[in-house]
Amino acid sequence: MKLLQRIGKGWLVVLISLSLLSAGIVLEYIIQPHWFINVTRFIWYAAAYIPVGIPVLWKGIRIAFRGDVFTEFMLMSIATLGAFFIGEYPEGVAVMLFYSVGEIFQDAAVGRARRSIKALLDVRPDSTNVLRDGRYVTVASSEVGVGETIQIKVGERVSLDGELISEESSFNTAALTGESKPRTIDKGEAVLAGMINEQKVVEVRTTKLFNDSSLSRILTLVQDATFRKAPTELFIRKFARVYTPIVVFLAAALTMLPYFFVNDYEFSTWLYRALIFLVISCPCALVIAIPLGYFGGIGAASHHGILFKGSNYLDLMSKVDTIVMDKTGTLTKGVFKVQSVEATSDESEWIPLVAALESHSTHPIAKAVVEYAGNVFETVQVTSVEEIKGHGLKGIVDGHNVLAGNLALLDKFGIDASESVHSESDTIVVVAVNNKFVGSITIADELKEDSKETIQRMHSLNLKTIILSGDHQGVVNRIAQDLIIDEAYGDLLPEQKAAKVVEIMSGKKDPTVFVGDGINDAPVLAVSDVGIAMGALGSDAAIETADVVIQTDQISKIITAINISKNTKRIVWQNISLAFGVKLIVLALGAGGIATMWEAVFADVGVALLAISNAVRIQKI
C-alpha cells in the first residue's frame, strides 16, 4: 500500500502495462519461443492492454451514454480495439499505454496550476485566538464574529479582515500583493486576512466574517475566472465537437471507399490506415493544452498580485492599444504635501494661526497644512470656526480674524492677493489675517515612484496614454507634461469620465483599458473594454466592478499584466500551430501508408505532452 501511494495509482497501472508490453515484444521479436503464438500471444497482449485500456473504454462508454459519443476516449477505444482486430496487438497496447501516460501528465499539469493558485491565495488560518471572557481562546476562524478582538502572534497569519488596535507593526503582504517588502501598518488602519505579522504580538478588531474577507473574495474571483473563457478557448472547444465526428466518418471512408478504386484492396491494410488516422486526429492536445495555457496565465498574474476575472480579459489585454488613467491614486500617491510657502509677512507669525484653523477640518488639503506646521500651533486658541462651502475656512484664532481657502474666499471678502498667486497651476491655500493678505501655501500631490518609467514603457509598446481627472485642468496638464502623457482632460465628474471613455472607444477596433482606484471610478471601470482597479485590495467596489484587480499601488503592474497576457497568447497559438502542423503531416503520411501506429502515437500523445510542457512555462513568468 505504501508503495502504491509513493508511486501513484496511475503510474503503477502504466508500469504494469509497460512491463507486460516490453516482455511481449522481447518474446515475439527476440527470443521467439514456439508457444508465443495465436491464443497465447493474444492473451499476453490483452493482459498488457487491460490495465490502461479498460479505464479509457469505460470512460468513453459513460460519456457516450450522456449523449457525447465522439470524444477522444471513444477515438482511442476504436483505434486500439481495431488494432487488436487485425492482429496488431503490440501497437494497440502501445497507443493506449502512451495515451494513458499523456493523461497522467495532463492531470499533473492542471493540478500544478491549481495548486499554485490555491497555495498563493487560500492561506487563511483555520483557527484564531479570540478574546472572550477576559482571556484568549482558540476557536475556528469561521466562528469569530464581527467586532471581536483577535490576537496575532509574531509569524502568524491574519485569519480575518480587521482594524489594528495595537500600535504599529510590520506585516508581510506577499500572499496578497506578490510584494516581498514588509508593510508597516499603524493603529486604526486595516489589516487583511492572509498578511503575516512580523514584528510583535498585536490585537485586531474584526470587521468582516471569515468567509467575507478580502482573501476569500479574491480566492473566489480566481476560481471563477477559469469559467470565463477566451474566444480562442471557446472556439477550440466548439471546433473539437465538430471535428471529432468528421474524422470518425473520414476514417470509415478511408476503410471502405478504396474497395471501389483499388485493384488489390485488402480490408486489413486500409483498416490499419484508418486506425492510424483516428489516433492522429485525436484532439486532446488542443482541448487540454489551450485551456491549461490560459489557466497558467491567470496563475502567473496572481503570483504578481494581478487578478484577472477571466481568460477573456487576459486575451483582451494582449490586444490593448490605449491606456486611459485616473490621476489621483493611480499616477500619483493621493497624498497632498506642502510644496512651497509664499509670504508677504513673517511666515512664523501666521503659519501657526492657519494650522490651528485647518486642524478643525478633515479635508486632505487641511491635513497637509497641519502636517507641514508640526506642533507650532498647539498653544494657539481657536475661538470660532466657520466653513464657507466651496471656499475654505473662516475663524477667530488668538483674537485674529483668519481666512484660509481659495482665491474665491478672498474675493468674497474684498481682499486682494498677489499676482503670482493667480498664475499658480497647483492647488493653493491663500491666507488673510485681519482682512490683509499675508501669503499662500502651494500644495500638490506626489507622483508615484514608478509612474514615469511605466509611461515610458507604455510608449515603447506603442500604447496611447490618456489622463482623465476631476482635478483642475492646470494641475492635470502639469502632470501630463511631467510624464509625457499623450492627452489630458481635467475638471471631469465621474459620469463625464465615463462619457469620455465611451467617446475614446467609439470606432476603435482594439480594446481600451481604464485604470482607476476602483471606488469613485466605478462607472468608468464598468463601461471600458477592460477596467483595472489599482491598489484596491479590500475594496468591495473594486472587486465587483473591475475586470482586473491590481492589489498594490504600483502602476508598473499594468505592464506586467500586458506582458503576461501577450506571453500567454503567444504560447497558446504556438500550441495550436504545433498540434495542427504535426497532425496534418502525419495524417497525410498515414493515409498514404507511410506512417505507422508509432508515428500516430507521437502525433497524438507526443504533441499533447509538448503542448502541455509549453503551457506550463507560463506559470514561471
Active-site amino acid positions: 326
Judge whether 280 and 587 are in contact, CB under 8 Å.
yes
Q: Are 373 and 481 in contact (CB under 8 A)?
A: no
Burial of residue 421 (number of CB atoms within 10 Å: 0-12, 13-18, 19+): middle
Distances (CA, A) of 146 to 137, 195, 210, 321: 16, 18, 9, 44
Closest by CA to 564, choosing from 285, 295, 182, is: 295
Closest CA to 277 of 251, 245, 253: 251
Sequence-ordered list of residues with C-beta below 8 angstroms from that of 172, at least 6 positions apart, any chain: 180, 182, 183, 195, 196, 198
Q: What angle do CA 539, 543, 548 make, to 5 degrees?
A: 125
Q: What is the residue whose three cell numbers read 475594496?
A: 539
Please give the Cα distance from 175 to 215 (Å, whole number).
Answer: 9
For 67: left if phi > 0, alpha if psi spans -120 to 50, otherwise beta; the answer is left
Q: Distance (Å, rounded) from C-alpha 249 to C-alpha 39?
A: 32
Q: Are 504 and 324 in contact, with CB atoms under 8 Å apart?
A: yes
List the beta bridge partners of residue 185. Answer: 169
Q: To which H or E segment does residue 140 belong? A: strand 135-140
C-alpha cell at 592: 498514404
Sequence-ordered list of residues with C-beta below 8 angstroms from that of 250, at least 6 positions apart, any chain: 277, 281
d(CA 300, CA 112): 12
Q: How far apart are CA 423 and CA 403, in angstroms?
A: 20
Contact 123, 141 (CB under 8 A): no
287 three-state secondary structure: helix
The identity of residue 306, as a single letter, is I
Q: Cβ of 508: how many Cβ atoms within 10 Å?
A: 11
**Structural element, H or E, at residue 438:** strand 436-447
C-alpha cell recorded at residue 593: 501508408
Give dist(CA 283, CA 71) in Å, integer.
9
Q: Which residues pair with 393 in a beta bridge?
A: 387, 404
- From the centroid of its chain, how far is CA 336? 31
Do 309 and 218 touch, CB atoms closer than 8 A? Answer: no
**Residues β-bridged to residue 427:** 443
CB 618 within 8 A of CB 295: no
Q: Where are the alpha helices (DSSP H) in 318-385?
A: 347-358, 364-373
- DSSP H helices, 27-88, are 38-65, 72-85
